[in-house]
């Protein structure tokens, strides 16, 4: 007699059925549309249909359904669709699962004031860096990463600080899966060169994105650790290269590393042994 697999609480009896019958197709299409919408700062119906590879009629029905729940918004005068306040409220629930936002906010504000540049907090999601909080400088020219924005790890200060502290097997897997896309002349696209830099980053305690994602912008980051000495987030400051010259990266790097250590301590974490 073959026993039925144990059902996890909170899931239906059909949870162990991994066939396509368990997929709600209309919901699946809606999530594809929502993900495509999230990648733009306002987009037309026709462009969103093309991006999500669905008909305009299908996309419109999904959008109006999401609009009824304030997940998306429509701007009449531009005829563009945007992510709505309802999506923010749902996303905030995810962010509130951890107290890292609360613990890091005062440190980020202090870091922004001491350096005069924008402070960022990011985590790893789906082998990419997702920014979850930012304290902006008042400078006219500044870096801007809205919460939810994601970037490749190899071309990000926070990404490299995390890669440097992940187990080598995980780092290699991320590099192999995601690749090393070139964004500027400074982007590291050679795996051996990147691994060599990650070794240096781990030793120094901070990473530098030296115009590797965007020409004219520099970012300096350090990892935040949990109670097991595992990297759970990264803290950075970013700004234009004319305000963050190369000869200042060591000094700024120590500021950022100290700030990350402060957050680590506030979380009850510890830095791993080198």
- Give the pLDDT confidence score for residue 92 in this predicted structure: 67
In this structure, are residues 164 and 222 in contact, taking their beta carbons and an 8 Å threshold?
Answer: no
- Give the pLDDT confidence score for residue 14 in this predicted structure: 47
- Give the pLDDT confidence score for residue 61 in this predicted structure: 92
Residue range(s) occupied by CATH 1.10.10.10 in the chain: 13-84
In this structure, are residues 221 and 157 in contact, taking their beta carbons and an 8 Å threshold?
Answer: yes
- Give the pLDDT confidence score for residue 169 in this predicted structure: 95
Q: Which helix (H) or strand (E) holds 212?
A: none
Q: Which of 142, 139, 141, 100 is nearest to 122 (CA)?
A: 100
| Rg of the chain in Å (alpha carbons) | 21
- Give the pLDDT confidence score for residue 15 in this predicted structure: 44
Q: d(Cα 274, Cα 272) in Å, to the nearest integer?
A: 6
Separation in Å, CA 178 to CA 11, 128, 155, 156: 32, 9, 12, 14
Q: Which of 233, 227, 242 is nearest to 272 (CA)?
A: 227
Residue range(s) occupied by CATH 3.30.450.40 in the chain: 98-266
DSSP letters for 105-173: HHHHHHHHHHHSSEEEEEEEETTEEEEEEEE--S-SS-----TT-EEEGGGSHHHHHHHTTS-HHHHHH
Q: What is the CATH number of domain 13-84?
A: 1.10.10.10
Q: d(Cα 236, Cα 141) in Å, to the nearest integer?
A: 17
Alpha helices in the chain (DSSP H): 25-38, 45-52, 56-68, 85-95, 100-115, 157-163, 168-178, 191-204, 249-266
Token pair listed for 243: 């305000």
Phi, psi of 150 (to 5 degrees): -125, 150
pLDDT tens per residue across all 274 residues of the chain? 444 444 445 555 544 544 455 668 888 888 899 988 888 889 999 999 999 889 999 999 999 999 999 999 999 999 999 998 888 778 766 655 557 888 899 999 999 999 999 999 999 998 999 999 999 887 777 677 777 888 999 999 999 999 999 999 999 999 999 999 999 999 999 999 999 999 999 999 999 999 999 999 999 999 999 988 999 999 999 999 999 999 999 999 999 999 999 999 988 888 887 6
State which fold the 98-266 domain adopts.
Beta-Lactamase (3.30.450)
- Give the pLDDT confidence score for residue 273 in this predicted structure: 77
- The residues, ordered by sequence, that sit 6+ positions from 69 with a Cβ below 8 Å of its Cβ are 86
Q: Which residues pair with 231 in a beta bridge?
A: 225
- Give the pLDDT confidence score for residue 22 in this predicted structure: 60
Helix (H, G, I), strand (E, B) or coil at 240: strand
In this structure, are residues 217 and 203 in contact, taking their beta carbons and an 8 Å threshold?
Answer: no
Only one residue has tokens 């999230």, namely: 38
Q: d(Cα 185, Cα 213) in Å, to the nearest integer?
A: 9
Phi, psi of 96 (to 5 degrees): -75, -5
Helix (H, G, I), strand (E, B) or coil at 181: coil
């Amino acid at each position: 007699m073959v026993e039925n697999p144990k059902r996890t609480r909170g899931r239906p009896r059909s949870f162990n059925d991994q066939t396509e019958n368990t997929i709600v197709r209309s919901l699946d299409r809606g999530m594809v549309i929502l993900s495509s919408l999230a990648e733009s700062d306002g987009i037309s119906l026709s462009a969103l249909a093309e991006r999500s590879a669905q008909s305009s009629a299908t996309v419109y029905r999904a959008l109006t359904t999401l609009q009824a729940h304030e997940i998306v918004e429509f701007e009449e005068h531009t005829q563009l669709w945007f992510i709505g306040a309802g999506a923010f409220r749902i996303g905030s629930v995810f962010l509130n699962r951890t107290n890292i936002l609360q613990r890091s906010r005062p440190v980020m504000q202090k870091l922004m004031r001491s350096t005069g540049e924008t402070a960022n907090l990011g985590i790893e999601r789906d082998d990419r860096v997702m920014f979850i909080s930012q304290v902006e400088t008042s400078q006219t020219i500044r870096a801007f990463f809205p919460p939810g924005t994601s970037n490749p790890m190899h071309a990000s200060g926070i990404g490299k600080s995390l890669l440097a502290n992940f187990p080598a097997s995980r780092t290699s897997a991320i590099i192999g899966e995601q690749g090393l896309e070139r964004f500027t002349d400074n982007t590291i696209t050679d795996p051996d060169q990147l691994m060599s830099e990650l070794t240096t980053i781990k030793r120094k305690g901070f990473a530098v994105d030296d115009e590797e994602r965007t020409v004219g912008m520099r970012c300096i980051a350090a990892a935040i650790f949990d109670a097991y000495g595992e990297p759970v987030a990264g803290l950075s400051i970013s700004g234009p290269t004319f305000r963050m010259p190369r000869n200042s990266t060591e000094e700024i790097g120590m500021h950022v590393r100290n700030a990350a250590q402060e957050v680590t301590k506030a979380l009850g974490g510890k830095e791993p042994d080198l």
